[in-house]
Amino acid sequence: MSGPAVAVTGLGLVTAAGVGVQDTWKRVCEGRSTASRDPSLKGMPVDISCSVPAYDTNELLGRRSALKYDRFVQLALIAAIEAVADSGLDPDSWDGARVGVVLGCGMGGLGSYDEQHRRMSESGPENVSPMLIPLMIPNMAAGHVGMRFGARGPNFVTATACASGATAIGAALDLLRRGECDVVITGGTEAGIVPLVVTGFARMGALSTRRLDDPASASRPFDADRDGFVIGEGAGILVLERAEHARARGARVRAHLAGYGASADAHHATAPDPEGRGVALAVTAALADAGVAAGEVDHVNAHGTSTPLNDAAEAASIRRLLGDRPVVTSTKGVVGHTLGAAGAIEAALTVLAIQERTVPPTANLTERDAGVEIDIVRDQPRTHHSRVAMSNSFGFGGQNAVLVFTEGA
Amino acid sequence: MSSTYDQLVTILTERFEVSQDEITPDTTFEDLEMDSLFMVELLLVVQNEMGVKIGEDAATTGDTVARAAELIDAATAAASSS
């Protein structure tokens, strides 16, 4: 049973490829990885990351923002400011009660947690900052975006690990369809490049370790020689509107969000179901929700983490469920795996792929894995008219979220 | 003004992103957009940097910078006479 599509009228991106949509899109289309040696991870078993280039917090967010907002909130705010400006909506005159904020975040302010834990260990509890709790709780990302724009509608954060951003966008779609909001600022954010967190991922064998001396070649989705993901950070924000609300104000519509499907593997904490039953459920639900047939999908922005297990299972699922029609890419080759932000960053890149009629290449794909029988873009961006595009996100815990976008206008 | 006042101004400019020309003795912490959580943080820094024991609620957002300096001096005097 399909529901009405909603309009995507604004985009905002902060990634290792740049602060802003244009810089990110340009670098992603070049297919050049942003991974590099990270001084903040010195001495850790894995010391490479895809980090957001330095920015001036005060200039972008106002005085004392570095003290008020953990990095995951800063990234969300910067991307949200860009997305709201891009939408052409005026927060000074909108009906704030009809504007929701739904963001995905897998971890929250672990950087602040880590710093204050160290303070307590070294100098005692009386030295712990009173800011700790408002800095670290994950819902603050949506809370602060709401405060910034006077958005007083439903406001919350979803946590489905690496699918969080896509889950949030799906929840935003529901709010708009139910008529609870006219506008939802949605997406995801994460600032997980914290020594303890990165080491945790390293200890479980999820990260690439073979190319620490050549970081730019480490994230290589679907490549035969891939050995794990490279951790990244960032935020992706979409401004979604009820289609008639966007039409009534003559908004430029970048694309439509037509469908969302979610499921659980119910299989294992961190490994995907090799039979892909959960993924099949989410893909099928998203297509039905969008009123689109499996054979109509032109483009897939894959979850494509560059881990051996994910990419093999995902490629098999795409082939089995969608055939050989879709042109596939994994943008994690360039921006790394941004955890709770990934689904949202990739949703924004999927919208751009539709709008620009261009599918970016998958970085570092030199030899396609033997079992991967799908059409993956490599080396150069491919000019491609995508009327229907899908963005996949799969999280630890076996949580799957799939979004279907269609052309705007 | 006292040296305590000067030290407080230094802490505000170096740690709390206040520009020097915004601060006068009569400026309140509210004027500097500092809420109650920032006050607790400020007094924490004062304790560590000036080596003075002062309650977390000794100064409020409505106090002026000069008044906060007086409270710090009073706390220092009380500690040395006890």
Condensed to tens digits (0 to 9), the pLDDT of residues A285-343 reads 999 999 999 999 999 999 999 999 999 999 999 999 999 999 999 999 999 999 999 99
Question: Which residue in A144, A299, A303, A384 is the catalytic one?
Answer: A303
Q: Which pLDDT value is given to residue B68?
A: 96
**A172-208 b/e with 16+ CB inside 10 Å = b?**
bbebbbeeebbbbbbbbbbbbbbbebbbebbeeebbb
Substitution target from B37, B49, B53, B54 for chain A, most A beta carbons within 10 A: B37
| A134/B17 CB distance under 8 A | no
**pLDDT at position A407 over 80:** yes
- Smallest CA–CA distance, residue B47 to chain A, in Å, is 10
What pLDDT is recorded for position A1? 64
Q: What is the pLDDT of residues A149-164, one digit of tens each?
A: 999 999 999 999 999 9
Average pLDDT taken over every residue of chain A: 97
Contacts of B19 in chain A (CB under 8 A): none
Please return the burial class of A409, using the count of CB atoms within 10 Å of its CB with bins 0-12, 13-18 and 19+.
Answer: exposed
Place B56 in a pLDDT band, splitting at 50, 70 and 90.
Answer: confident
CA distance B79 to chain A (A): 19
Between CA A118 and CA A122 the distance in angstroms is 6
pLDDT in tens, A81-131: 999 999 999 999 999 999 999 999 999 999 999 999 999 999 999 899 999
pLDDT, position A334: 98
Count other Cβ atoms within 10 Å, centred on residue A43.
7
List beta partners, residue A101. Answer: A155, A185
**Chain-chain contact of B38 with A64 (C-beta, under 8 angstroms):** yes
CA–CA dist A339, A286 (Å, integer): 21
Number of inter-chain CB pairs under 8 A, A vs B: 25
The per-residue pLDDT for A391 is 98
Q: Which of residues 23-62 of B touch A (CB under 8 A)?
A: 33, 37-38, 40-41, 44, 48
Check CB contact of A3 with chain B, cutoff 8 Å.
no
Residue B17: Cβ within 10 Å count: 18
Query: For position A52, what pLDDT does the model report?
Result: 98
Question: What element of type H or E holds B10?
Answer: helix B3-15
What number of other Cβ atoms are within 10 A of residue A253's Cβ? Answer: 18
Question: Please, which pLDDT band fits residue A394 given cuts at 50, 70 and 90?
Answer: very high
Token representation of residue A181: 């909001």
Residue A131: which of B18, B33, B41 has the nearest Cβ? B41
Residues of B in contact with A134 (CB under 8 A): 37
Q: Can you name the residues that pair with A183 across neighbouring β-strands?
A: A99, A241
Label residue B6 by pLDDT band (50, 70, 90).
very high
So what's the pLDDT on residue A2? 81
Interface test with B, best of A56, A59, A61, A64 (most B CBs within 10 A): A64
**% of residues, chain A, pLDDT over 90:** 96
Structure tokens at A348: 């924004």
Tell me the residue type at A392.
N
Q: Where does the pLDDT of residue B82 fall: very low under 50, low under 70, confident under 90, or very high at 90 and above?
A: low
Residue in A105, A162, A299, A384 annotated catalytic: A162
Query: Tokens representing A288?
Result: 């039905």
Distance from CA of B81 to the nearest CA of A (A): 24
Q: How many residues does chain A have?
A: 409
As a whole number of angstroms, the distance between CA A89 and CA A77 comes to 16
A364 pLDDT band, cuts 50/70/90, is very high
Instruction: Provide the total of helices (H) and of strands (E) in chain B, helices listed first.
Output: 3, 0
In this predicted model, what pLDDT tens digit does every residue of A42-81 receive, in sequence order?
A: 999 999 999 999 999 989 999 889 999 999 999 999 999 9
Q: What is the maximum alpha-carbon separation in chain B?
A: 38
Answer whether B17 touches A (CB < 8 Å): yes
Contact with chain B for residue A248, Cβ under 8 A: no
DSSP annotation string for A336-396: -B-GGGHHHHHHHHHHHHHHHTEEPPBTT-SSB-TT--SEE-BSS-EE---SEEEEEEEET
Bridge partner list, A102: A156, A186
Chain A residues within 8 A of B17 when measuring between CB atoms = 58, 63-64, 66-67
Q: In the prediction, which pLDDT does B53 show?
A: 86
B21 interfaces chain A, CB cutoff of 8 Å: no
Nearest Cα of chain B lies from the Cα of A362 at a distance, in angstroms, of 42
Smallest Cα distance from A143 to chain B, Å = 17
Beta partners for residue A292, in sequence order? none
pLDDT score for B42: 94
Residue pLDDT, tens place only, A13-42: 999 999 999 999 999 999 999 999 999 999
Q: What would the pLDDT profile of A207-241 be if each residue is shown by its tens digit?
A: 999 999 999 999 999 999 999 999 999 999 999 99
Alpha-helix runs per DSSP H in A216-341: 243-248, 277-290, 308-322, 332-335
